[in-house]
Structure 1
Amino acid sequence: MKAVPMVEFWRGGLLESLHLGHAVICDATGGIVEAWGDPDAVIFPRSACKMIQALPLVESGAADALGVGPSRLALACASHQGAAVHSDLVTRWLGDLGLGENDLRCGPQMPRDHAAMREVLCKGDSPCQIHNNCSGKHTGFLTLARHLGAGPEYHEVDHPVQAAVRQAFEEVTGLASPGYGIDGCSAPNFATTVHGLARAMAFFATAATRSDGRSKAADRLVSAMTAFPELVAGEGRSCTNLMRAMGGKVAVKTGAEAVFVAILPERGIGIALKVLDGADRASEAAITALLIRLGALDPGHPVVKHYLTGPIMNRAGLAVAERRLAPGFAA
């Protein structure tokens, strides 16, 4: 099966851009409820799988042993924007481990948060690894490495931390990963199918109904994400805005190259989608449409206008273009 049209962008009465992709909605059994495109398309989940990468941190007992509470668990699942609320938490977490910025392996990144960016630039400083959007995930990896008594190169694919991540990833997706790529933060990113990623999100969505250790860990991670949406991304970001709009009832997470997932505990449903051309504006519109379709998001909420139904404005404040769902997608 081929990718299908998902989102259109129109300007001056003409179709300017068309975004194709794949999307899968899974139920509690891991079965497909609805799908568009090819459920078996193999993708890199990128940062959309951070809650899976954080499972060993909780399931192993490392989080409890080393004082990782809900806010830090949310940060472990985050692609944050380097605001003070993010960098201060990472700094304190590293300090509690007796570690520092040099122990991270994610690389430096200029903060996306405007205030933090101005501070770096006005001081003539360089961004550091704590500003990296994945520094929370990496501090979680360091925490697990400390608990396991493993070495400092936690990002290498044969390290015990990444071995634990791969095992959890393959078990919750229900598939052996066909391979991995190195993510922007230098950690391995294991490939799976769109169906496998949606199946994993359904596992998280139904975790509260089970009592085994992994399910308890998954439930804690979902609860942390929904309790601290500002830590999962940041002010003005789609993950934070969408979770707030749904009142903490749904967890969502984006990944680079237009991957988006959602966890709906009240419905026991997981969603995964991938827009082929990597356009975030299209994946944001697509996940918004699917959340409305499933009754999780009020179509009248202002966030829907921002990501899906509202006009596209130019810098002079003029409405110059519009988004439309492609015929047959999420209608």
Structure 2
Amino acid sequence: MTRPPILIELTRGNLVESVHAGHAAICDSSGSVIEGWGDPVTVIYPRSSCKMMQALPLVESGAADAAGLTDAQLALACASHEGAALHADAVRAWLARQGQGEDDLLCGTEMPRDRDLREALIRAGEAPCQVHNNCSGKHAGFLTLTRHLKAGPDYVALDHPVQKAVRSSFEEVTGLESPGYGIDGCSAPNFATTVAGLATAMARFAAAGTGSGARDAAMARLTGAMIAHPDLVAGQGRACTELMRAAGGAAAVKTGAEAVFVAILPRQKLGVALKIVDGGTRAAEAAIAALLVHLGVLAADDPAVLRRVDAPIMNRAGLQVGQVRRAAGFP
């Protein structure tokens, strides 16, 4: 295995204080690596960066249309949201419309990541519930597909028709047989693939809409839903939301736990995937911003970029004491 190169470094004074190594790939829909750093065939868990792939059977099967799902709901199916009121209320409404509730979800309870709602719950002495889980939209999608397939309620089981459909489409769009799976924080299987396989899948989403068939249409619709509703995909102040807004329709961007990031670039028909090996989110956000600048999707001086890469590190007195910056040679 190629030793991963340093992609992002943090300075303090005139010294490099911390470094973050990683792997990254820019691919086209044929699976060719256009540019790469580190070892693009490194196997990773994509974690939540692949939610649009997990939502693919929902749309491709006709379940989304049968349930009358909107693009906003499809964006929620691809989301790692903040659990803010707009997210939680939308998931509740989605479930209620199909005669279900939060007890039908299997994602687990999570305190909202949205500060205002979290503090409101604490002040009211109320407990969070499963709709506050950042994956509740994805699980609402799983439930919708489950109803369409007339399958049993344990939709996160590896042998459930929903997860069989997810694995099949996952392997087809990555172009690789998955070497295994892990159980994600929301209890759903997370299938492993390579960095290049993940980037290839994103490129196939990027190229969708130019062909024919249910899958092509489904990929194009999911990408469009994410781009149209960046606030639902993540939330206020989050990198996914801010970078998509800044891209102005040129990219769908999605993070995953343990410092994975992907980007779908429809205008260029390219896909991007990266993994910071130490799991550092700050470095992953800097790396995806740098790659989007490199590819001409974002301007280097865009505020959404400057908050993440080549960004000042400030102390509590408001003095700049260092910088988060790209390492030499990246990108």
Structure 2 length-normalised TM? 0.98
1:24 corresponds in structure 2 to 25
2:186 corresponds in structure 1 to 185
Q: CA deviation at 1:299?
A: 1.1
Q: CA deviation at 1:316?
A: 3.1
Q: CA deviation at 1:232?
A: 0.1
2:143 corresponds in structure 1 to 142
CA distance in 1, matches of 2:185, 2:304: 29
Q: CA deviation at 1:29?
A: 1.7
- Matched pairs, number: 330
1:52 corresponds in structure 2 to 53
CA distance in 2, matches of 1:40, 1:309: 28
CA distance in 2, matches of 1:244, 1:302: 11
CA distance in 2, matches of 1:41, 1:310: 29
CA distance in 1, matches of 2:41, 2:294: 22
1:306 corresponds in structure 2 to 307
CA distance in 1, matches of 2:212, 2:117: 42
CA distance in 2, matches of 1:142, 1:194: 29
CA distance in 1, matches of 2:280, 2:93: 35
2:320 corresponds in structure 1 to 319
Q: CA deviation at 1:317?
A: 2.2
2:234 corresponds in structure 1 to 233
1:7 corresponds in structure 2 to 8
CA distance in 1, matches of 2:8, 2:310: 11
CA distance in 2, matches of 1:314, 1:148: 55
1:106 corresponds in structure 2 to 107
Amino acid at match of 1:84: A
Q: CA deviation at 1:154?
A: 0.3
SS at match of 2:209: helix
SS at match of 1:263: strand
CA distance in 1, matches of 2:311, 2:50: 29
1:285 corresponds in structure 2 to 286
CA distance in 1, matches of 2:41, 2:250: 28
Amino acid at match of 2:314: M
Percent identity of the aligned residues?
Answer: 62
1:43 corresponds in structure 2 to 44
Matched, 1:72 2:73: yes
Q: CA RMSD in A?
A: 0.8
Alignment of 1:116-265 (within 5 A): 116-265=117-266
CA distance in 1, matches of 2:69, 2:63: 8
Q: CA deviation at 1:318?
A: 2.2
CA distance in 2, matches of 1:324, 1:137: 34
8 Å contact from structure 2 (residues 21, 277) kept in 1: yes
Q: CA deviation at 1:307?
A: 0.6
Amino acid at match of 1:114: R
Amino acid at match of 2:271: G
Q: Which string of whole-angstrom CA distances, capped at 9 and with x for unpartnered residues, describes residues 27-80 of structure 1?
A: 132211000000110000000000000000000000000011100000000000
Q: Which string of whole-angstrom CA distances, capped at 9 and with x for unpartnered residues, describes residues 107-137 of structure 1?
A: 0001111111011101111111000000000
CA distance in 1, matches of 2:232, 2:140: 14
CA distance in 2, matches of 1:318, 1:99: 52
Q: Which string of whole-angstrom CA distances, capped at 9 and with x for unpartnered residues, describes residues 156-177 of structure 1?
A: 1110000000000000000000
Q: CA deviation at 1:22?
A: 0.2
Amino acid at match of 2:209: A
Amino acid at match of 2:169: A
Amino acid at match of 1:101: E
Q: Which string of whole-angstrom CA distances, capped at 9 and with x for unpartnered residues, describes residues 201-260 of structure 1?
A: 000000011112101000000000000000000010000000000112210000000000
Q: Which string of whole-angstrom CA distances, capped at 9 and with x for unpartnered residues, describes residues 81-117 of structure 1?
A: 0000000000000001101111000000011111110
Structure 1 length-normalised TM? 0.98
SS at match of 1:208: coil
CA distance in 1, matches of 2:189, 2:216: 23
2:91 corresponds in structure 1 to 90
